[in-house]
């Protein structure tokens, strides 16, 4: 009979063998982790790649998949190169791109990112530094890129990590039919908006709701709801030095304003995400909705909307002592080159192509693209006025001004999670507005040092 | 010495000697695949997890620098995580207990009806074979406050609308109900199979002694089934601790943190806040807690088995 592998009892030799095995595993862990992230060759800023026959793999935000189909056709026609598009839900985009590089898979050449993830991607070695490439390619015409979004979307630690692709902002949609029925004016302040919400919800006795408060506990939903009021009341997330300013009177007033609106909102705010909010507005059930600019296309589409020609938009209202309207950079996407790409020059060429004036206008012209202006010239282009219709002036005003920029450093995902967790507790009535924001402020200070 | 007798080397207790004699013996090369699989699938992840928990680790840059117990301190200082440990335990115990009671009742009813499950068995399996994500979506649509089927039906009969997912307790209990709805058939199947193993002569003896249905159930069948029931309870308890899909789809941990179970919170920490080091520490704390609870149940079960023998 052969020797048993395992014997009852423990000998010194067994302990030594076990310790050696564990030690080897422990040593292998970092090695395995490190070998996953081996970068490809550095990007040649002046490289002129032959794109004919090349296929670039592109990770994109799912709602923008249509935009990339448009780009794929025009890129192929101009260069002979094709795109292999992988759409991913907006809230999984950052994790997917980080894991792609961290695991060493390197499945993507071009990465679309929400600008809040810029610091995470740049500091994590996921994005290629494009500073030299942008300098070496003056035809990118960076002077035409909207100043309000160019730096927030691409600049981290003095270097450029991408080019803007979709200049997202929120505007306030309202149902003109309901506003007329209840003799209300278009809301110019958050106080107007709250008063309208209360009147419509009370007077319609449950048939309609005066406002939709999107309060699902994820940054891109509840974070936007708070940011829209924060900018309206003249508050900011961070000061010029990058320190949190969330315990300010403006921030507290902004949160109080949204908490005041909650009882009159579509039930119930903490449950309300895009899949509840959009049908409620498009069916005429709810009267006010803060949403992205491209929603105007859907609101005018009879296939999706029962409020065709019964809606209008205003810039995000002001509140408190602030009288200067501004918008918030809610969402907003840029394109960068993966450090693991084996075709970095080709990938950079595509990023440049996608951010060009011609392509931005082509995107705007197609209502299915879901894209917004990224260039100053686009805001004055006839195609923008035609596509955005009544929303055009409001969008242009927001993007030309000084919008609220969200945190975009390496700690941003954590900061925003803390923010929405505490906001949700305030919505539940477990803490007051000031207490909520003082807790967030303190947590942010601790994280940012 | 008689054949089959156990030789006891000096210094070895009789109990150990018996255990040693019962061990199946395999050659090293035969055990190699299992050993390798254990190292790859258990050893490496565990060592890596401990490594992450003891270092500054983000999703993009794991194992940056040694931080000792900082990640554990961060995890235990986080009220949402510590609250999630309690919520996970409560959820697992309530769901497992509910499933055991309902499942046993249904199994007894089925066993009283026939010795084969037939078509009814197939129907019972439907919730079990439905993907949890689909279960979550279906329940979410049913319970939608505006346009949901439940409120639509209530409106038809003139009753006021309900919104169980809109308040803390309602959302938590809704998840318990959904989990119970999905997993009770599993309990039914196991308990039904165990019921088939109850010796007929035992029943007959009890009936001859004058036991009625209730006495038969309480004094004969349930005591006989106790080890099996505790095993099923243990299985569902661990399943309850692991719940993630329905939380993700139906409530996303809300409202507030009312349904934020530990698995969901760990996912949020790792893949939404990207604090992989803290998430690893949370995972270890959670594993210890699940292990402790499961061990208690396993000990109770072992005692029941011994008592039965």
In a domain, B95, yes or no: yes
A14 touches chain B (CB under 8 A): no
Closest CA to A367 of A70, A122, A26, A47: A70
* Weakly modelled stretches of chain B, pLDDT under 70: 1-24, 115
Pick the residue from chain A with its C-alpha nearest to B60: A124
Phi-psi region of A199 (alpha: psi -120 to 50; beta: other; left: phi over 0): alpha
Give the helix, strand, coil percentages of chain B, each rounded to 5.
75, 0, 25
Residues of chain B contacting A120 with CB distance shorter than 8 Å: 58-60, 274
Interior angle at CA A92, CA A88 and CA A94, nearest 5: 105
For residues A173 and A395, the answer to whether their CB atoms sit within 8 Å is no
Q: Which of residues 281-340 of A touch B (CB under 8 A)?
A: 285
Task: Answer yes or no: do A123 and B273 touch at CB < 8 A.
Answer: no
Out of B31, B51, B165, closest to residue A271 by CB: B165
Same domain, yes or no, for A200 and A342?
no
Task: Answer yes or no: do B252 and A99 touch at CB < 8 A.
Answer: no
- What CATH number should be reported for the domain holding residue A184? 3.40.190.10
Q: What is the pLDDT of residue A15?
A: 41
C-alpha neighbours within 13 Å on the C-beta side of residue B36: 6
- Domain extent for B98: 79-308
Residue-wise pLDDT tens digits, A212-221: 999 998 999 9
**Distance (Å) from the C-alpha of residue A120 to the closest C-alpha of chain B?**
7
Task: Answer yes or no: do A91 and B80 touch at CB < 8 A.
Answer: no
In a domain, B244, yes or no: yes
Same domain, yes or no, for A253 and A313?
yes
In a domain, A94, yes or no: yes
Both tokens of B299, joined, read 């000990």
Neighbouring CB atoms inside 10 A of A319's CB total 26
Q: Which of residues 144-163 of A touch B (CB under 8 A)?
A: none
Final residue belonging to a domain, choices A400, A423, A439? A400
In a domain, A77, yes or no: yes
Closest CA to A149 of A127, A166, A130, A170: A166
Q: What is the pLDDT of residue B18?
A: 60
In a domain, B33, yes or no: no
Q: What is the pLDDT of residue B5?
A: 44
Q: What percent of chain A has pLDDT over 90?
A: 77
Same domain, yes or no, for A59 and A162?
yes
Same domain, yes or no, for A130 and A78?
yes
Same domain, yes or no, for A130 and A270?
no
Query: Alpha-carbon distance A197 to A203, whole Å?
Result: 10
A397 touches chain B (CB under 8 A): no
Give the helix, strand, coil percentages of chain A, each rounded to 5.
50, 15, 35
Task: Answer yes or no: do B44 and A285 touch at CB < 8 A.
Answer: no
Residues of chain B contacting A1 with CB distance shorter than 8 Å: 25
Instruction: Report cis status (omega within 30 of 0) of the bond before B309.
Output: no
Residues of chain B contacting A410 with CB distance shorter than 8 Å: 58
Strand B55-56 and strand B65-66: the pairing is antiparallel
Q: What is the pLDDT of residue A324?
A: 93
Q: What is the pLDDT of residue B23?
A: 64
Neighbouring CB atoms inside 10 A of B33's CB total 9
Q: Which of residues 120-179 of B touch A (CB under 8 A)?
A: 144-147, 163, 165-166, 168
Q: What is the pLDDT of residue A10?
A: 41
Out of A4, A21, A33, closest to residue B62 by CB: A33
**Beta carbons within 8 Å of A104's beta carbon, 6+ residues apart:** A35, A36, A37, A38, A340
For residues A90 and A24, the answer to whether their CB atoms sit within 8 Å is no
Q: What is the pLDDT of residue A3?
A: 36
Q: Which helix (H) or strand (E) holds A155?
A: strand A155-156
Residue-wise pLDDT tens digits, A82-129: 999 999 998 889 999 999 998 889 999 999 999 999 999 999 999 999
Same domain, yes or no, for A296 and A198?
yes
- What CATH number should be reported for the domain holding residue B103? 1.10.3720.10
In a domain, B5, yes or no: no
Q: What is the pLDDT of residue A28?
A: 45
| DSSP 8-state secondary structure symbol assigned to residue A43 | P
Pick the residue from chain B with its C-alpha nearest to A104: B60
Query: Alpha-carbon distance B254 to B237, whole Å?
Result: 22
In a domain, B22, yes or no: no
Residue A42 backbone dihedrals phi, psi, to 5 degrees: -65, 150
* Weakly modelled stretches of chain A, pLDDT under 70: 1-40
In a domain, B293, yes or no: yes
Q: What is the pLDDT of residue A22?
A: 44
Domain count, chain B: 1
Picking from B133, B254, B267, B278 by the largest number of A CB atoms within 10 A of its own CB, the best residue to mutate is: B254
Residue A109 burial by CB count (10 A; 0-12/13-18/19+): exposed, middle or buried?
buried
Q: What is the pLDDT of residue A8?
A: 39
Same domain, yes or no, for A342 and A370?
yes
- Domain extent for A394: 55-168+330-400
In a domain, A45, yes or no: no
Q: Which helix (H) or strand (E) holds A94?
A: helix A93-102
Residues of chain B contacting A99 with CB distance shorter than 8 Å: 59
Residue-wise pLDDT tens digits, B159-194: 988 889 988 899 999 999 999 999 999 999 999 999
A138 touches chain B (CB under 8 A): no
Residue A9 backbone dihedrals phi, psi, to 5 degrees: 90, 165
Domain count, chain A: 2
Out of A285, A417, A428, closest to residue B256 by CB: A428
In a domain, B31, yes or no: no
Same domain, yes or no, for A198 and A322?
yes
In a domain, B199, yes or no: yes
Same domain, yes or no, for A143 and A266?
no
Residues of chain A contacting B19 with CB distance shorter than 8 Å: 8
**Whole-structure pTM value:** 0.82
**Beta carbons within 8 Å of A408's beta carbon, 6+ residues apart:** A115, A116, A117, A118, A119, A152, A156
Pick the residue from chain B with its C-alpha nearest to A412: B273
Task: Answer yes or no: do B273 and A413 touch at CB < 8 A.
Answer: yes
Same domain, yes or no, for A383 and A371?
yes
Residue-wise pLDDT tens digits, B27-79: 888 889 999 999 988 899 999 999 999 999 988 888 999 999 999 999 999 98
In a domain, A289, yes or no: yes
Residues of chain B contacting A95 with CB distance shorter than 8 Å: 59, 271-272, 274
Helices (H), ranges, A269-411 = 274-282, 295-299, 344-354, 357-365, 376-379, 382-388, 392-400
């Amino acid at each position: 009979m052969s020797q048993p592998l395992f014997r009852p009892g423990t000998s010194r030799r067994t302990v030594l063998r076990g310790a050696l095995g564990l030690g080897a595993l422990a040593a292998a862990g970092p090695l395995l982790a490190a070998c996953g992230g081996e970068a490809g060759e550095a990007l040649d800023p002046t490289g002129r790649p032959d794109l004919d026959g090349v296929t670039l793999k592109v990770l994109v935000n799912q709602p923008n998949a249509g935009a990339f189909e448009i780009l794929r056709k025009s890129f192929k026609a101009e260069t002979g190169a094709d795109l292999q598009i992988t759409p991913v839900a907006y809230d999984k985009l950052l994790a997917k791109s980080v894991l792609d590089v961290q695991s060493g898979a390197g499945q993507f050449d071009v990465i679309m990112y929400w600008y809040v993830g810029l610091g995470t991607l740049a500091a994590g070695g996921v994005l290629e530094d494009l500073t030299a490439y942008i300098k070496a390619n003056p035809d990118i015409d960076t002077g035409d890129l909207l100043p309000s979004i160019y730096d927030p979307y691409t600049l981290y630690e003095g270097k450029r990590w991408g080019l803007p692709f979709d200049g997202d902002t929120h505007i306030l949609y309202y149902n003109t039919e309901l506003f007329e029925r209840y003799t209300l004016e278009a809301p110019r302040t958050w106080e107007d908006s709250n008063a309208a919400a209360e009147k419509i919800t009370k007077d319609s006795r449950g048939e309609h709701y005066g406002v939709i408060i999107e309060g699902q506990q994820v940054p891109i939903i509840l974070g936007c709801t708070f940011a829209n009021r924060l900018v309206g009341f003249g508050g900011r997330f961070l000061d010029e030095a990058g320190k949190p300013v969330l315990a300010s009177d403006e921030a507290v007033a902004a949160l109080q304003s949204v908490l005041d609106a909650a009882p009159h909102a579509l039930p119930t705010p903490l449950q309300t995400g895009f899949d509840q909010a959009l049908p409620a507005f498009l069916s005429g059930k709810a009267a006010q909705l803060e949403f992205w600019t491209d929603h105007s296309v859907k609101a005018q589409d009879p296939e999706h909307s029962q409020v065709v020609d019964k809606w209008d938009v205003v810039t995000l209202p002001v509140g408190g002592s602030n009288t200067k309207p501004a918008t918030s950079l809610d969402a907003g996407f840029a394109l960068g080159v993966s450090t693991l790409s084996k075709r970095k020059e080709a990938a950079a060429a595509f990023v440049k192509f996608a951010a060009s004036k011609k392509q931005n206008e082509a995107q705007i012209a197609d209502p299915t693209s879901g894209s917004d202006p990224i260039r100053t010239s686009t805001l004055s282009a006839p195609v923008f006025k035609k596509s955005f219709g009544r929303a055009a002036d409001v969008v242009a005003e927001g993007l030309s001004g000084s919008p609220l920029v969200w945190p975009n450093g390496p700690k941003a995902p954590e900061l925003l999670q803390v923010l929405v967790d505490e906001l949700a507790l305030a919505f539940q009535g477990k803490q007051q507005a000031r207490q909520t924001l003082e807790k967030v402020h303190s947590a942010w200070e601790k994280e940012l040092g | 010495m008689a054949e089959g007798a156990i030789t006891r080397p000096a210094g070895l207790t009789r109990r150990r000697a018996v255990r040693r004699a019962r061990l199946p013996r395999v050659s090293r090369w035969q055990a190699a695949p299992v050993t390798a699989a254990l190292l790859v699938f258990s050893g490496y992840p565990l060592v890596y997890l401990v490594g992450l928990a003891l270092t500054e680790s983000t999703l993009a840059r794991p194992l940056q620098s040694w931080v000792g117990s900082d990640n554990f301190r961060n995890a235990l200082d986080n009220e949402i995580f510590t609250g999630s440990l309690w919520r996970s335990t409560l959820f697992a115990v309530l769901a497992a207990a509910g499933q055991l009671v309902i499942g046993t009742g249904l199994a007894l009813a089925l066993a009283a009806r026939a010795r084969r499950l037939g078509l009814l068995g197939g129907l019972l399996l439907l919730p079990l074979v439905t993907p949890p994500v689909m279960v979550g979506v279906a329940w979410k649509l049913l319970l939608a406050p505006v346009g949901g089927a439940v409120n639509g039906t209530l409106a038809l009969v003139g009753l006021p609308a309900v919104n169980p997912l809109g308040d803390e307790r309602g959302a938590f209990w809704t998840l318990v109900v959904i989990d119970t709805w999905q997993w009770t058939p599993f309990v039914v199947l196991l308990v039904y199979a165990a019921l088939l193993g109850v010796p007929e002569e035992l029943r007959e003896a009890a009936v001859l002694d004058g036991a009625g249905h209730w006495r038969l159930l309480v004094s004969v069948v349930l005591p006989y089934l106790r080890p099996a029931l505790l095993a099923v309870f243990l299985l569902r308890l661990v399943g309850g601790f692991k719940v993630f899909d329905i939380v993700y789809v139906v409530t996303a941990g809300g409202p507030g943190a009312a349904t934020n179970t530990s698995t969901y919170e760990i996912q949020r920490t790792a893949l939404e806040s990207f604090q992989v080091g803290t998430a690893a520490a949370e995972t270890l704390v959670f594993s210890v807690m699940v292990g402790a609870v499961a061990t208690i149940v396993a000990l109770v079960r072992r005692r029941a088995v011994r008592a039965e023998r």
